[in-house]
Structure 1
């Protein structure tokens, strides 16, 4: 797959300039001849696992119901109006991860996951909008999409799903396998299966500033240093014992105003926050890990690659991996940035890393964060 095919003849720069965050784009045969990466049975088995996030959505007798996973059993395939959503399929399947990485012209800090939606005839989740950008790639069968801009975003009250109350479609498309529809944030859409179908959603992270602010304050709590203690040696008798005094407020305000954060603090917070694995992500250590000397010899021949579940980022001298951060010197950073950007280091590059980097790689290998080869 090449980007000019994936984006319908547009370069990534053209797409980002003209469409990203701005308007929809329908791409016929973005991936010509595309076939599902997983069978329906394999998807059902994945949804039954407790380390996989999944939801079963039914619309039987005109009533929406949502069941959160693990989903032990699904309705009969012959029964209409149900949908199975499986999040983070890229975390559990190499081919799904490779598909997600085709969108690496978008920074890893924004790329979220690949969700698979399996639906029987007329199945869907109702008209809705997402708070993030999304690519909807048809993998199997057909799905009819109705979309509309400038919609009233009022939701149906009391529904199990966030369904738009007054959806008025402006365009309609039927997607075949290999076709893809891009939608910017808050662009209303409604997808309905035509027969049995599977759609792959490539979604992006767009954290709310409130969420970031709360997390940042928790992050900074560990580094705040405010010496001293409140004192009032010149305290005078009060006629209003329940009133908070002006001097107390002034002292506390002056102390709190000493709390400062730097661009470096923000960078470390963002790196740790965005690389931190989701709660459903678990790493598996190798059953019989190599010794350090054998590991060293092995990576010189085979190189290393990041686990599908590992997120590695960097900014300036700081590197971040799975929620942890550390500073690296210029030479060490060079090799680690290659690993972060390409998600792998070949044998030649791995054979010349410093002792510090080698020890870090070995620790990550023992933790299941990286793989040989």
Structure 2
């Protein structure tokens, strides 16, 4: 689709206009972003996911109690939960949050294809929250972009503008609830099913359920922090740099005082660090791996036994297809001269550019992919790593 095509989900803005005027700059409310929207799962199905081992789920109670039974303003508990947990909840003022629902429900995962006006590797997951009347997680701020799509019922959203990094947070709970929240004039709406609110990072917001069976889908995006990135890149470089690359002061002049750490020494160290870090090729290889790391380490299940590439070729030639595994993340980087790095779930492999683009797309992989040099070896490695799976097995 052309970036100049108006999109209903963006309020008839083109993707170019949205990215230029709103993305990471200011909120926008889009009425009817998904006309006649039908939520892809029910509250009971969401609760069922929250009862399963390995699925990240939280219960947030506004009028909770601590472990000693004392009343406190907020309480957060982590799943998995039981039917008895839900049966004991009050009629209002609580929320259930389930992360990465797109990893478990294909119909939810399909919604991500509506967001291809943004890089696929920027997408994180779709969290779905359920709340009876009055349910919320308090006024808070996130440090990532999010699209809040109303799936069922009605939710009132109030915005409080950008929040400083040192804003006061209520202590002692597993939530970043703001101690002070003031609604900006005009930024107060009730969303109906199919309405969507986009929020850039750092924008205070407060959403409260206005009806029974309120479901909200939160499409979140990855944004590594500077401290996380520096630590991660340093670890990546540590495996790549020779031991001989060290601080050097060849040609230095005699010090005026042997105890002084002078400007020249600091400048030599600065150049060593900056010259080591400022390598676009290394940064690209590290960044591709970081941005394709699985959300959960145990999400992908590697094969216990290595697959014979000849068996994979035979299966494809007999009509089988390979698909990306739920939760798998792929991207590619053009290396020039028809070559690319295919990044898959935190790893990278060099291959034909056309092959990398094909594998990283949503297109099912059939026998035609074998026309590309090295496709059998690459696909076998991805299958054994759990990044790809046979379509017939995913349908079971």
Structure 1 residues 349, 63: closer, same or farther in 2, change over 3 A?
same
- Could you tell me which residue of structure 2 aligns to residue 172 of structure 1? 188
- Could you tell me which residue of structure 1 aligns to residue 168 of structure 2? 155
Instruction: Select the residue among 326, 329, 334 that pairs with 2:349.
Output: 326
Task: Compute the displacement of 1:137 (Å).
Answer: 0.4
The reply on whether 1:273 has 2:290 as its aligned counterpart is: yes
- Could you tell me which residue of structure 2 aligns to residue 239 of structure 1? none
Instruction: Select the residue among 253, 257, 267 that pairs with 2:272.
Output: 257
Structure 1 residues 244, 224: closer, same or farther in 2, change over 3 A?
farther
Task: Compute the displacement of 1:281 (Å).
Answer: 3.8
Which deviates more from structure 2 when the two are superposed, residues 186-195 or residues 156-165? 156-165
Deviations 1:278-332 (A, max 9, x none): 345422357999864443243343442211211111212322111111222xxx2
- Could you tell me which residue of structure 2 aligns to residue 240 of structure 1? none
Tell me the distance in 2 between the aligned counterparts of 1:246 and 1:348.
65
Structure 1 residues 65, 357: closer, same or farther in 2, change over 3 A?
same
Q: What SS does structure 2 have at the residue aligned with 1:359? A: helix
Tell me the distance in 2 between the aligned counterparts of 1:245 and 1:3.
64
- Could you tell me which residue of structure 2 aligns to residue 57 of structure 1? 60
The 8 Å contact of residues 64 and 159 in structure 1, kept in 2 or not, is answered as no
- Could you tell me which residue of structure 2 aligns to residue 237 of structure 1? none
Structure 1 residues 347, 167: closer, same or farther in 2, change over 3 A?
same
Matched positions, count: 357
Task: Compute the displacement of 1:7 (Å).
Answer: 1.2
- Could you tell me which residue of structure 1 aligns to residue 369 of structure 2? 350
The 8 Å contact of residues 110 and 204 in structure 1, kept in 2 or not, is answered as yes
Structure 1 residues 228, 276: closer, same or farther in 2, change over 3 A?
closer
Structure 1 residues 368, 131: closer, same or farther in 2, change over 3 A?
same
Tell me the distance in 2 between the aligned counterparts of 1:256 and 1:182.
42
Deviations 1:117-149 (A, max 9, x none): 111110001111111111000111111111132
The 8 Å contact of residues 47 and 71 in structure 1, kept in 2 or not, is answered as yes
Give the TM-score of the pair, scaled to structure 2. 0.80
Q: Considering only aligned residues, what root-mean-square deviation do their CA atoms show, in Å?
A: 3.2
Alignment gaps of 5+ in structure 1: 231-242
